[in-house]
């Protein structure tokens, strides 16, 4: 199966998916892992330390409690994740691109859920007969568990995509135009010569 690279884009998107793709992915991954850490600390506070859910605010929420209750922060992060997945997608080819696209699609829905929460908070009108802003899937799954689930289903395909991106097969390697795979891997090896 032939693997085709997207045509090179100019400007910021072109640089992010070319010469600066590896750096952009590293920064993006750092942001994602920091967000994950917040959710894991919150989960530990609830199930490990037995804290009540309103007091389990992660690390930043202990110092800035309004952050946890602000839909601005949650919607902003969901939007940042969506934009990052979209902007960095052109640098992926083949199998890695497929997994990155899965992550993008799942994050798109996660973003819709946060948009519903944000809209309710801004309008002061709650949907689904709830007393607080409530998303669609939150009707079935509590918010903490739901966000652990969403972050997992977005993060896992993203990690698979990054792994495959750094370990391309021959067709993917030929189509790769970014800085992630060392240039030495792109050059064909000369056959070893035997001394005569």
Residue 189 placed within a domain = no
Distance of CA 65 to the CA centre of its chain: 24
Q: Mean per-residue pLDDT for 63-88?
A: 90
pLDDT at residue 129 tops 80: yes
pLDDT for res 11: 86
Residue 196 placed within a domain = no
Highest mean pLDDT among 62-66, 127-131, 155-159, 186-190: 155-159
Distance CA 40, CA 193 (A): 55
Place of tokens 């966000």: 147
**Total of domains in the chain:** 1
pLDDT for res 1: 57
pLDDT for res 13: 87
- Please give the share of the chain, as a percent, with pLDDT higher than 90: 60
Domain that includes residue 100, residue range: 16-181
pLDDT for res 186: 47
Residue 192 placed within a domain = no
The secondary structure of the chain in percent helix, strand, coil, rounded to multiples of 5, reads 70, 0, 30
Residue 3 placed within a domain = no
pLDDT for res 87: 96
Distance CA 108, CA 103 (A): 9
Residue 79 placed within a domain = yes
Distance CA 59, CA 95 (A): 36
Residue 52 placed within a domain = yes
Residue 169 placed within a domain = yes
pLDDT for res 103: 98
Distance CA 177, CA 32 (A): 24
Residue 59 placed within a domain = yes
């Amino acid at each position: 199966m032939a693997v085709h690279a997207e045509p090179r884009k100019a400007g910021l998107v072109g640089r992010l998916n070319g010469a600066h793709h590896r750096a952009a992915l590293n920064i993006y991954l750092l942001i994602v892992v920091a967000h994950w850490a917040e959710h894991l600390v919150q989960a530990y506070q609830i199930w490990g330390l037995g804290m009540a859910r309103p007091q389990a605010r992660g690390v930043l929420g202990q110092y800035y409690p309004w952050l946890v209750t602000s839909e601005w922060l949650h919607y902003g992060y969901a939007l940042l994740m969506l934009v990052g997945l979209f902007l960095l997608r052109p640098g992926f080819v083949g199998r890695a691109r497929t997994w990155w696209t899965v992550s993008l699609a799942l994050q798109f829905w996660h973003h819709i859920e946060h948009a519903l929460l944000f809209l309710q908070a801004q309008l002061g009108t709650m949907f689904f007969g709830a007393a607080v802003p409530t998303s669609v899937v939150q009707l079935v799954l509590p918010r903490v568990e739901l966000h652990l689930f969403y972050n997992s289903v977005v993060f896992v395909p993203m990690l698979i995509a990054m792994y495959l991106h750094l370990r391309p097969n021959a067709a993917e390697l030929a189509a790769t135009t970014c800085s992630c795979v060392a240039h030495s891997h792109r050059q064909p090896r000369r056959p070893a010569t035997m001394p005569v």
